[in-house]
Structure 1
Amino acid sequence: MTHTGTTLVIGATGTTGRRTAAQLTAMGHRVKAASRRATPIDGAEPAPFDWYDPATHPAALDGVDRAYLIPPVGDSDPTVTMLPFLHQARSAGVRRAVLLSSSAIPEGGPAVGKVHQALPDLFEQWAVLRPSWFMQNFTGTHAHAQSIRDEGIIWTATDDGRVGFVDAEDIAAVAVRALIDERAPNTDLVLTGPEALSHDDIAALITEIIGRTVVHRRLSLEGMRDRLAAQVPVEFAAMLAGLDRAIAEGVEDRVTDTVQRLTGRPPRAFKALLEGETRRGH
């Protein structure tokens, strides 16, 4: 059965939201692309949306039967904002909700983990995407990409810990399947790329592909927190630094078959992504 309704993509200008909206519209699905500035997205209907402005919520939900939910960025307790919206969404006719979380945050865990816990009681059709760290953290305008460009350095508190870095295009491809397949996953899905890499491995691959030396510098938990606190609220910085320490302890050293299972194709490797970015001149 083909889905003929409209999908609300929240955060439609973000790393996974933009790609999810693009993949849905390319397949001919109706998309309402929600962002603070209602930024136009090819083939989609733009909608103004701000998690912290409930006045924007009813119009965004109008005529929508499923939703891709990207939590408010940098919010250490998004339940306060998200749960009232999700109740409103259900009342407005949203039948399926796909939430973006993180491999580092279990159901009932901190931040979006509490939203994850609430989702199955709110919607009969649901999925929680729990991707590993994004490969795109090292490209474009992201923090690691900036320090790579400015200093030739990747700063982390991960030591030798390895991560199954995943391509945002693959996250979006799984989001699309979770949104439009006749049967909803009704579970959480841990998404990784095809291999687990340390930040030393990442630095070596970037050096090889771009031809400029990039190194991984190791910080303490406190050093990483203080570095991040210059960019984000201190509570959020402390949480992110804690996630780095968890990587150092091995919690992200895994690969899953989720991308292959849901999309029918293998996930992209980091080297292939870098080569593609380099060819495009990024």
Structure 2
Amino acid sequence: MSDRTILVTGATGNTGRRVVSQLAALGHLVTAANRSPAARDSAAGGSAAVRFDWYDPATYADALRDADRVYLVPPIGEPHPAAVMLPFLQQARAAGVQRAVLLSSSGIPAGGPGVGQVHGMLAELFGEWAVLRPSWFMQNFTDQHLHADSIRDDGVIMSATGNGRVGFVDADDIAAVAVRALLDDPAPNTDLIITGPQALSYEDIAAVITEVGGRPVSHRPVTYEQLRDRLATDIPEEFAALLAGLDHAISQGAEDRVTDTVERLTGRPARSFRAYCEEVTRLQVAE
């Protein structure tokens, strides 16, 4: 690999900060890009921080300086990310970026809604590319997320998934796959569906949290319409409908699968949800 840098957008987010940290630990030059100027001092050792905003083209050039590979985290809550991201992607190609790794979702194929449109155009823009399609994050139940909030406040998880199962995955494992997709030669030049080692229902998730954390947590099923309307109080209605639709797809079996992507690319098995919960609980006790 050259002495040019790897640009990581969303560098203080769930996967971005982990990608920055793992790349820096391996000795690579990293530009950690984030919208908040206050986040510029939080870059990991071996990385430089810059202000970057998908909606402000004036921030593009500094972020792209000396970069030949880029990790792309789409703008959060944007129902039409392709329109927002395309000008940046075109500028990145013109600036000499050779490889792009895009964070998408297991529930959204190439050409599908939202970030699926960006997925569909990536191979046309870059000779080297990968699209990460992780399943639902384990961190949704412990960090800053609607599920985590409802667990803390009410001891419930609300979803429109019914009895459908999901291969929940740890964000650390997603980041580890992202690092390999950025570094390994040849480039994947494909999409990578990333799951944990088990497909679990939300009833299963609630049971594990109860057993490990020692506090009763239950799953409260809601309809697609109820979930859509609840989400729409905080995010655009179109995006709320997309997310509720993904829950409905889970209820129909769309996410009932596991893959070997984590182990195949990183050489180690994906972490289980129980192991994740046990570590979170240990950290909380230590605090």
Q: Which residue does 1:8 correspond to in 2?
A: 7
**How far is the alpha carbon of 1:5 from its aligned partner?**
2.4
* Alignment-mate amino acid for residue 23 of structure 1: Q
Q: Which residue does 1:182 correspond to in 2?
A: 185
Distance 2:87 2:208 in 1: 44
- Say which of 209, 215, 233 aligns to 2:236: 233
3-state SS of the aligned residue for 1:280? helix
- Say which of 125, 133, 137 aligns to 1:134: 137
Distance 1:120 1:234 in 2: 30
Distance 1:174 1:3, change over 3 A: farther
Moved over 2 A (4+): 2-5
Q: TM-score, normalised by structure 1?
A: 0.98
Q: Is 1:170 the counterpart of 2:173 in the alignment?
A: yes
* Alignment-mate amino acid for residue 244 of structure 2: A
Q: TM-score, normalised by structure 2?
A: 0.96
Q: Is 1:71 the counterpart of 2:70 in the alignment?
A: no
Distance 2:92 2:123 in 1: 14
Distance 2:260 2:143 in 1: 27
**How far is the alpha carbon of 1:181 from its aligned partner?**
1.0
Stretches of structure 1 lacking an aligned partner (at least 5 in a row): none
**How far is the alpha carbon of 1:182 from its aligned partner?**
2.2
After superposition, what is the alpha-carbon deviation per residue over 1:132-160, rounded to whole angstroms, capped at 9, x for unaligned? 00011001222111100000000000000
Q: Is 1:114 the counterpart of 2:127 in the alignment?
A: no
Distance 1:107 1:239 in 2: 15
**How far is the alpha carbon of 1:31 from its aligned partner?**
0.5
After superposition, what is the alpha-carbon deviation per residue over 1:205-250, rounded to whole angstroms, capped at 9, x for unaligned? 0000110000000001111111111221111111111100000000
- Say which of 127, 130, 147 aligns to 1:124: 127
Q: Is the 8 A contact 1:3 1:180 kept in 2?
A: no
* Alignment-mate amino acid for residue 101 of structure 1: S
3-state SS of the aligned residue for 1:15? coil
Q: How many residues align?
A: 281
Tell me how large the CA RMSD over aligned residues is. 0.9
Q: Is the 8 A contact 1:17 1:172 kept in 2?
A: yes
3-state SS of the aligned residue for 2:15? helix
3-state SS of the aligned residue for 1:65? strand
Distance 2:153 2:241 in 1: 24
Stretches of structure 2 lacking an aligned partner (at least 5 in a row): none
Paired-residue identity, %: 63
* Alignment-mate amino acid for residue 95 of structure 2: A
Q: Is 1:199 the counterpart of 2:202 in the alignment?
A: yes
After superposition, what is the alpha-carbon deviation per residue over 1:33-82, rounded to whole angstroms, capped at 9, x for unaligned? 00012422121100100000111011111111100000000111111111
